[in-house]
């Protein structure tokens, strides 16, 4: 507690995920008056064919 859910596209490396959960957890500990053991982070990864912005699937956007 708290529980954090991050909705993001597939494709992050293990190193990126490692940093993401570590730094988000620190942000929660620093600001929400809890300790790290109480914090869970779930990365809900969706393929580019299952996520959209502006009504357009990421799989159908021009590459960034």
The set of catalytic residues is 2
Regarding 61 and contact with a copy of itself (CB under 8 A), the answer is no
Nearer to a copy of itself, 30 or 62 (CB): 30
Regarding 48 and contact with a copy of itself (CB under 8 A), the answer is no
Smallest distance, a copy of itself to C-beta of residue 12, A: 6
Q: Which residues have a Cβ under 8 Å from the Cβ of 41 and sit 6 or more positions away?
A: 3, 4, 5, 6, 20, 21, 24, 25
Q: Is the dihedral of CA 14, 26, 38, 44 positive or negative?
A: negative
Question: 56 is written with which tokens?
Answer: 């357009």
Which chain residues interact with a copy of itself by CB under 8 A?
Answer: 1-9, 12, 14, 16-28, 30-33, 36-37, 39-46, 49-57, 59-60
């Amino acid at each position: 507690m708290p529980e954090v859910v991050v909705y993001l596209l597939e494709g992050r490396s293990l190193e990126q995920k490692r940093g993401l959960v570590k730094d988000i957890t620190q942000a929660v500990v620093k600001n929400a008056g809890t300790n790290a053991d109480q914090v869970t982070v779930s990365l809900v990864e969706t393929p580019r064919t299952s996520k959209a912005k502006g009504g357009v699937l990421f799989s159908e956007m021009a590459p960034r």
